[in-house]
Chain A
């Protein structure tokens, strides 16, 4: 019996991972990260290809430099004014990350409250949707009026942008729990706290991380929108200034750094997911191998 089952399991592991996979393959952080790198080199290759195309188009003088500067000119601007960029990137990063973290705290807590109290859910959910459909760029000036010219209004816009996907994904995650799991928990004599921390919350994490990845990129947009409306520092300010001066290399440099910021934040969230949810990561990797 045991022997039969062991071959059964090895076959499954083989089918899933292909080759020398052992049962204990998920004990460390290392393999997860290695798999992550293996899984992400393709988009980087595409990125390099886009850069090459950009360089080729500008080098062949197909487009006038004041419309699209060459990659070289753009990088020159960044290097020449590195401390200027460093400072403004830091400001936007600070607003984004702080806004993102506040959105996680507020979003997860409100999702938990809504899931456990139908009354709160019924009264808050429509309001949340209402708040979400208002264009943030339209209410950003109001925050400048209320909160002044400093970093606070930018952080608030970042929170507003990132909050919604986090709430929705956490509510979905907490509600998607197998009802039999909750019944089982009841027969184990578990209290609501135990059920939440040992079963419900961990089970919701894959959904939560899906929301976090969306929210991370939204937070960058939020911070920049806040800067557009009124700021004297930050990447949004840099772009607005460059735009006013028709300084396209500067504009491109700002855009480049801004998108890098979003990508880096996204990748960090994904890396944390690989470390925190190894079972989820391996399942996705299995799916990827079978689809190839």
Chain B
């Protein structure tokens, strides 16, 4: 695993109260799946340390184990070898101190947007008043105001994904895991969601791990980009994104350091696919 720096190394990382230890530590992790015919190694030799408040994007070819990595951090999957730690604690089972957003919004059809968001509170048995106030805050923050009584089938894909994001943030998780959250959206909505996610991340100070197929999205949003090799997935390179904290979408795209970072990622991913 090599670390490469594009441009200047000084990446601003927002400070957090729990800055004493890493938010996520992945230590020499491997994941093997056993099927009847053969054993598949999904991930191997993966080590990663993510500081509190960081925004880390993960890119790589399809099937390289990006989603598996998020499942490891959430405890939905256990590594075949190696250790995963969340805030210094070993991950042994499904963790409650995370928020999860999937590619499909995974909303309950029979609940309004607001009640879908509040599902998080009901499952956790959070105090009602507190949950309601937090939901109001998030609905305003994500631009869902006025749509909170709408049902999922009445909402556009972007709005549905906003609801899923609110649900994932309701309990103020220190770590937010996002698995291609905007993959099903049209290009324009996706850009808008990128800008909003960047703003929401800055407002909440949550550590974010984002799996994406879009190189531009990965660089625009993150402080660091993890580039993975095809199966068996491992970390090809860690790229520090040298962009200001304040990122105007159009202007960021035109920055030389943006071009350098995306260029390097494209090179890595392209090289990875031709070698196969």
Binding site for B on A (CB under 8 A): 1-2, 5-6, 8-9, 12-13, 16, 23-24, 26, 178, 180-181, 183-190, 194, 198-199, 202-203, 277, 279-280, 282-283, 286
B151 touches A2 (CB 8 A): no
> At the interface, yes or no: B74 with Cβ under 8 Å from chain A?
yes
Find out whether the CB atom of A180 lies under 8 angstroms from the CB atom of B110. no
Residues of B within 8 A of A9 (CB): 147, 150, 154-156, 159
Say whether B150 contacts A178, CB under 8 Å.
no
A187–B122 CA distance with the chains assembled, in angstroms? 13
User: Are A277 and B110 in contact (CB-based, < 8 A)?
Assistant: yes
Given A9-B159, A178-B106, verify A188-B123 contact (CB < 8 Å). yes
Query: Which single residue of chain A is at the shortest CB-CB distance from B110?
Result: A279
- CB of A187 within 8 A of CB of B159, answer no
Using a Cβ cutoff of 8 Å, how many contacts connect chains A and B? 89
Q: Which B residues are within 8 Å of any A CB, using their own CB?
A: 71, 74, 76, 94-96, 98-100, 102, 104, 106, 108-110, 119-120, 122-124, 143, 145-147, 149-151, 153-156, 158-159, 192, 196
CA distance A277 to B124 in the complex (A): 26
B109 touches A1 (CB 8 A): no
Complex Cα distance, B154 from A1, in Å, reads 18
A2 to B124, CA, bound (A): 30
- Shortest Cβ distance from residue B149 to the other chain A in the assembled complex, whole angstroms: 6
Contact of B146 among A6, A178, A277 (CB under 8 A): A6
Closest to A185 in B: B123
Say yes or no: A198 contacts B122, CB within 8 Å.
Answer: yes
Instruction: Name B101's closest neighbour in chain A (CB-CB).
Output: A184
B35 to A: closest C-beta gap in Å: 18
Complex: how many Å from CA A23 to CA B150?
6
B252 → chain A, closest Cβ, in Å? 18
**B120:A1 contact, CB within 8 angstroms:** no
Give the distance to chain A from B84, nearest Cβ to Cβ, in Å: 15
A24-B149, A279-B151, A283-B153 known; A187 vs B110 contact (CB < 8 Å): no
Q: Cα distance A143–B273 when bound, in Å?
A: 69
| Cβ–Cβ contact B122 & A180, under 8 A | no
Contacts of B149 in A (CB 8 A): 23-24
